[in-house]
Structure 1
Amino acid sequence: MTEESRTGSRKSGQIVHVRMDANFFFERAVSALERLQYDKALKYFRKAVEYEPGNPVNHCNLAGILSETGDYEGSNEVLSRILSEVDETMTECYFYMANNYANLEKFEDAEEALVTYLEKDADGQFLAEAEEMMELLQYELNRPAKVGRIKSLQGQTEHDQARSLLERGEFTAAVKQLEKLLQEQPDFLAARNNLALGYYYMGMFKEAMAAIEDVLRRDPGNLHGLCNLAVFIQHDGNQEDLQVLSDHLAGIVPFHQEHVFKLATTMGILGRHEAAYGHFKRLLKDDEVNFDPCLFHYAAVAAYNIGRYQEAEGLWKQAAKRDPESEVPAFYLERLQEYKAGKLWAGPEQISYQYGLPFEEQLRKWEKWGGGLPDQMKQDPLVRSSFFWGLRHGDARTKLQIIEAFSQIADSEVLEALRAFLMEPEEEKYLKDIALFALRSLGVNDPLPIVLEGKTETVGPGYVSSRLPVWKPEWQAVLDEAKRRMAKRYNLMQLHDVETLWVEFITLSYPDVPSVSHLGGWAAALEYLTAKLHRRRITFEEAAKRYGVSVSTASRCTKRLDEVCGIKEKMNAMFPSG
């Protein structure tokens, strides 16, 4: 062999030197593997380790080729050396070791290595394969595997639970769980996105914006984060920023179904209905999509909002076919027919993408049913979200209706929302009185903090005015009797007025409070005057009969209440004649 052939090749009078390093031997090893020359590959991988002993990838390659050639014990020696001498964070080595042990039929050792992998590996690169191997080991060992906590799934269970809470409308519980999860795993972006949505559903707009900005600081291209931000900016009213972000989103064509759906609904909410319609139609053409009735509703709304009424009708019919018990498709089909017949409706105004009746329609139905909130409304997460949002951002009438609804839902979410409402410094005192009354009616008897005129006070249980040194049992008995008889026929605000009227009467009369030996007479008077205040039809005969007293007793007690509290004057001020 000439000197030239040993050192390189001559080209244009130059000698090209071969750099004998780890990369050189790695490339030779890969080339040998492609030609199925395992002996050569093993030799070259060993040389790569010699040249670069601190690189764990070289060691892994050597372990891999040893395993390929059937030297499972030799492979595990190399893998153990990686973990003890080179890089202890290479947790995938435990998975490779488990494979080797399984091939050696050392199933106990394989299980130990696999459990270690699952408990130490944060990325979960081989999670699916590990689950398959675990099934094999359970079969071979004839017992369940000894798996403790799977690190790569750490927080995933909690996140899935929180997401289910959001879907059920249990926003407060979901937010608490997500806040706790993010303290432990601050980079869990899916959880942070859902936390932002939880805040938003509860009407906590500033907190929602802060959470979504945190997502985008960590991952500026996060599609869910960008979509959520666009919806939040739309609420904030910054049209310039919204236009820029909306245009950016309009140019995105996602690959994954989940991203297509998220972008479609977002574009619809932003009023980019043509783009939304295109994404929804794309989903409906995908054979792998689960054709949920709400998807047909969303596509129908998009079609309607761009004037494709015939397509909208067909899509709502598809939704009705898949969800025959829902009143939503039927509602919109009926309104569509009214519009096509020339009657006034939303069209050509825009309609909401929510798979539910419009909030105003829900309230109208509720009032029509006499104030009794149907179970379907209590459990509907969209309705609950509207309630939480309305309690923070609605007008006074809407807030009163929502507090009334909350008194009927009566779960822990509601109690917490009402407690928080008492602490809102800008809310009217009357609304807070109603919220406090609702809490007491729901059995909350512990002292409650409340902000009044900029100061935080603590309100204890019971009905005692701060100006009264005592509250006698017989006074309470009158109030209890009136509320017991009125409970199913009067709403929360009216029951609150009964209490307010009686406390006012006792307070103004004190210490010369009349005898209340005729408990039924005073209770009848309270109902009679409350009914009149709310323009409800009632006679002395009806009130007297209901409480088992004479008409004269009911009339006498009513007259005394009116004299002390000036009810007729208040009514004349509220409802002037003419």
Structure 2
Amino acid sequence: MNGYQSGSNGLHNIIPIEMNANFFFDRAVKSLDRYQYDKALKYFRKAVEYEPDNPVNHCNMAGILSETGDYEGSNDVLQHILDKVDSSMTECYFYMANNYANMELFEEAEKALVTYLEEDSSGQFMDEAEELMELLHYELNRPAKVNRIKSREGMVEHERARELLEEGKFAQAVKLLEEIVGDYPDFLAARNNLALAYYYMGRFAKAKQTIEEVLEQEPGNLHGLCNLAIFFQHEGNNDQRNRLVEMLVVTVPFHQEHVFKLATTMGILGKHEAAYSHFRRLLKDEEFSSDPSLYHYTAVAACNSGQYESAANYWRHAKKLDPGSVIPDFYLAQLQHRKKTGTMVMKVSYHYHLPFEEQFKRWEHDGEVMTEEVKHNPLIRSSFFWALRHGDPHIKLQVIRTLELIADDEVQHALQSFLQEPGEDADLKDAARLVLQQLESKRSRTQDREAGVKGKEVLPDWHPTWQEVVDKASQTMDKRSDHFWKRELETLWSEFLSKLYPDIPNIRNTSGWAAALEYMTAKMRGRAYTYEEVALRYGISSSTVRRYARQIDQVCGNKDQSDDNFRPFTENI
């Protein structure tokens, strides 16, 4: 019997073959799998005949010609694509550069490669292009003249913006990232970082909107999804947060950068076991295995998951890698204390620095060390700005006073933004206003010196009696005032002497001047001391305190917190 049963005309069971571009494309691919290049080329030519406007078929044909050694024919096809089919197929320039190089036409290869680098926005063949560039440099004995690399436009600026973020300079980072996103709307990494910068500044609605813009362009963007989950948690939107967490917790990224992002996000969201698993993956990579902070993160994730012995091991390893750090020792001591006292739960922050309370204890007697650490350690600096937004009230007060010692534009912006928060404590806002006033006063004195106005720098050697006033005040204030008050007192005394120079009075009554300085500094801090209270502590009359305080006030301006000096700040609220 025949292989099929015919009907009345013997043809009704025959399946017709549709001769189209897809048919010939499939034939070409099968021929390539069998290394039958001649057949593959023939089939690709037929596919081009059926779909002459499809650049992919043309590219495939050019690829076969290149494989068979017909580099000139391949370039003819590639040039035809650019001229007649699709001028946006910038990868054709890269293919042409390779063909020219194989023909040892290195000048032409360089020209095509430079065009690729300057016109291609995707950067699909960047690694290969760099290798070819090195070859051409060697063959031509000179570097290629590339005016720009389009696929990397904004990369340098973006790296600078990332540095600003890590340093806690959020306002500057926002300004730069907004410019990058404006110039390169598809630069999703910059848009993600812009969202984070908004978030750190407390501009939560803007942060969320920016992340939504990322996910509109790329719904599976891992950084965007992680950030959005954190934003949902901040809003208290538990339903949306939980749906995202369910998806993220089963995600296993391939790239190490994504692993780190997911690990830190899981930690922030309280999924410490998932965070622990991802951090351990990172430690297996030689690139990360020497980073003490990563061992700290892994230890924290283990500790917060109840795996205290593992946490101790990771902190010991962090100590070996960073022997000068007090952080591993602090947490190892905490673990030991927990073991002795039988404390059941120990929750730890992922930040690679001591808790704020512990930091302030260490800095209490050494303000210079604190100033240097806060200024130059980007992790501590950024965490201070974060604590100003999210810390407990007593932590916020300590942070506000500490920020005065940093005294830069970022601090001023952070404190001004803090004043605009409607729910913040009034006393904390008063403290922030006072610090802003001090910063403005210091800036004015600096401008005066630059303009030639006499200041501290033109004073003669510091006179012993001037120092005696400061010492007397410090000793008397010792049990009632902190390090920051004393610094303000010294600043006020220096300002007073600088503005009077060279007509500085003869400082005979050390106690009187010291008492007046304490009184004026207290007013700057919003403390309602009376002349009688201060006079009693220094063993002098209240009229003496009043007389010297009036002299300081006349020279340095009214330091009362109801003073007009606060208007530039409150007008912005």
TM-score normalized with structure 2 length = 0.76
Q: 1:444 and 1:559, CA in 2 relative to 1: closer, same or farther beyond 3 A?
A: closer
Partner of 2:190: 191
Contact 2:280 2:298 in 1 (8 A): yes
Partner of 2:516: 526
Of 384, 405, 410, the residue aligned with 1:408 is 405
Query: CA separation in 1, counterparts of 2:35 and 2:491?
Result: 90
User: What is the CA-CA distance between 1:171 and the residue it aligns to?
Assistant: 2.6
Of 377, 380, 383, the residue aligned with 1:386 is 383
Please give the residue correspondences for 1:314-333 in structure 2 after superposition, counting only pairs within 5 Å: 314-333=313-332
Worse overlay, 91-100 or 14-23: 14-23
Q: 1:234 and 1:160, CA in 2 relative to 1: closer, same or farther beyond 3 A?
A: same
Query: CA separation in 1, counterparts of 2:302 and 2:58?
Result: 59
Query: CA separation in 1, counterparts of 2:470 and 2:394?
Result: 22
Q: 1:493 and 1:26, CA in 2 relative to 1: closer, same or farther beyond 3 A?
A: same
User: What is the CA-CA distance between 1:483 and the residue it aligns to?
Assistant: 11
Tell me the secondary structure at the aligned position of residue 443 of structure 1.
Answer: helix
User: What is the CA-CA distance between 1:11 and the residue it aligns to?
Assistant: 8.4
User: What is the CA-CA distance between 1:81 and the residue it aligns to?
Assistant: 1.2
Partner of 2:561: none
Q: 1:286 and 1:134, CA in 2 relative to 1: closer, same or farther beyond 3 A?
A: closer
Partner of 2:165: 166
Worse overlay, 162-171 or 278-287: 278-287
Contact 1:203 1:389 in 2 (8 A): no
Contact 1:158 1:181 in 2 (8 A): yes
User: What is the CA-CA distance between 1:286 and the residue it aligns to?
Assistant: 5.1
Asked if 1:558 is matched to 2:542, the reply is no
Q: 1:46 and 1:154, CA in 2 relative to 1: closer, same or farther beyond 3 A?
A: same
Tell me the secondary structure at the aligned position of residue 18 of structure 1.
Answer: coil
Partner of 1:435: 435
User: What is the CA-CA distance between 1:167 and the residue it aligns to?
Assistant: 2.4
Contact 1:192 1:211 in 2 (8 A): yes
Please give the residue correspondences for 1:506-525 in structure 2 after superposition, counting only pairs within 5 Å: 523-525=513-515
Q: 1:393 and 1:341, CA in 2 relative to 1: closer, same or farther beyond 3 A?
A: closer
Q: 1:33 and 1:276, CA in 2 relative to 1: closer, same or farther beyond 3 A?
A: closer
Letter of the 1:129 counterpart: E
Tell me the secondary structure at the aligned position of residue 195 of structure 1.
Answer: helix
Query: CA separation in 1, counterparts of 2:56 and 2:468?
Result: 77
Partner of 1:144: 143
Query: CA separation in 1, counterparts of 2:180 and 2:187?
Result: 8
Worse overlay, 316-325 or 358-367: 358-367
Partner of 1:7: none
User: What is the CA-CA distance between 1:87 and the residue it aligns to?
Assistant: 0.7
For the aligned residue pairs, the C-alpha RMSD in angstroms reads: 4.1
Q: 1:540 and 1:385, CA in 2 relative to 1: closer, same or farther beyond 3 A?
A: same
User: What is the CA-CA distance between 1:134 and the residue it aligns to?
Assistant: 0.5
Query: CA separation in 1, counterparts of 2:51 and 2:74?
Result: 18
Query: CA separation in 2, counterparts of 1:495 and 1:237?
Result: 41
Asked if 1:211 is matched to 2:214, the reply is no
User: What is the CA-CA distance between 1:139 and the residue it aligns to?
Assistant: 0.7
Worse overlay, 485-494 or 389-398: 485-494
Q: 1:38 and 1:365, CA in 2 relative to 1: closer, same or farther beyond 3 A?
A: same
Query: CA separation in 2, counterparts of 1:17 and 1:419?
Result: 77
Contact 2:520 2:549 in 1 (8 A): no
Partner of 2:4: none
Partner of 1:222: 221
Q: 1:155 and 1:516, CA in 2 relative to 1: closer, same or farther beyond 3 A?
A: closer
How big is each residue's C-alpha offset from its partner over 1:502-530, in whole Å with a ceiling of 9 and x where there is no partner? x9xxxxxxxxxxx9966776744422435
Query: CA separation in 2, counterparts of 1:316 and 1:177?
Result: 37
Query: CA separation in 1, counterparts of 2:522 and 2:172?
Result: 42
Tell me the secondary structure at the aligned position of residue 87 of structure 2.
Answer: coil
Asked if 1:354 is matched to 2:341, the reply is no
Letter of the 1:527 counterpart: L
Contact 1:45 1:62 in 2 (8 A): yes
Worse overlay, 278-287 or 266-275: 278-287
Q: 1:11 and 1:274, CA in 2 relative to 1: closer, same or farther beyond 3 A?
A: farther
Partner of 2:370: 373
Query: CA separation in 1, counterparts of 2:46 and 2:365?
Result: 84
User: What is the CA-CA distance between 1:174 and the residue it aligns to?
Assistant: 2.1
Worse overlay, 190-199 or 278-287: 278-287
How big is each residue's C-alpha offset from its partner over 1:433-471, in whole Å with a ceiling of 9 and x where there is no partner? 313323224415799xxxxxxxxxxxxx99xxxxxxxxx
Query: CA separation in 2, counterparts of 1:485 and 1:139?
Result: 73
User: What is the CA-CA distance between 1:142 and the residue it aligns to?
Assistant: 0.7
User: What is the CA-CA distance between 1:313 and the residue it aligns to?
Assistant: 1.1
Partner of 2:565: none
Letter of the 2:76 counterpart: E
Quote the sequence identity (%).
54
Tell me the secondary structure at the aligned position of residue 341 of structure 1.
Answer: helix
Query: CA separation in 2, counterparts of 1:238 and 1:31?
Result: 53
Contact 2:122 2:151 in 1 (8 A): yes
Query: CA separation in 1, counterparts of 2:126 and 2:387?
Result: 44
Q: 1:234 and 1:365, CA in 2 relative to 1: closer, same or farther beyond 3 A?
A: farther
For structure 2, the residue ranges without an aligned partner over 5 or more in a row are 1-8, 450-454, 475-481, 496-502, 553-573
Asked if 1:280 is matched to 2:270, the reply is no
Letter of the 1:408 counterpart: L
Worse overlay, 178-187 or 27-36: 27-36
Query: CA separation in 1, counterparts of 2:216 and 2:484?
Result: 46
Contact 2:93 2:116 in 1 (8 A): yes
Letter of the 1:145 counterpart: A
User: What is the CA-CA distance between 1:120 and the residue it aligns to?
Assistant: 0.9
User: What is the CA-CA distance between 1:386 and the residue it aligns to?
Assistant: 2.6
Partner of 1:50: 49
User: What is the CA-CA distance between 1:414 and the residue it aligns to?
Assistant: 2.2
Letter of the 2:107 counterpart: E
Aligned length: 505
Contact 2:534 2:545 in 1 (8 A): no
How big is each residue's C-alpha offset from its partner over 1:406-425, in whole Å with a ceiling of 9 and x where there is no partner? 23223332243345456666
Tell me the secondary structure at the aligned position of residue 259 of structure 1.
Answer: helix
Q: 1:435 and 1:484, CA in 2 relative to 1: closer, same or farther beyond 3 A?
A: farther
Q: 1:243 and 1:368, CA in 2 relative to 1: closer, same or farther beyond 3 A?
A: farther
Query: CA separation in 1, counterparts of 2:504 and 2:444?
Result: 28
Letter of the 1:437 counterpart: Q
Tell me the secondary structure at the aligned position of residue 64 of structure 1.
Answer: helix
Query: CA separation in 2, counterparts of 1:98 and 1:63?
Result: 13
TM-score normalized with structure 1 length = 0.76
Q: 1:93 and 1:485, CA in 2 relative to 1: closer, same or farther beyond 3 A?
A: farther
Contact 1:528 1:540 in 2 (8 A): no
Q: 1:370 and 1:436, CA in 2 relative to 1: closer, same or farther beyond 3 A?
A: closer
Contact 1:102 1:110 in 2 (8 A): yes
Q: 1:143 and 1:285, CA in 2 relative to 1: closer, same or farther beyond 3 A?
A: closer
Partner of 1:572: none
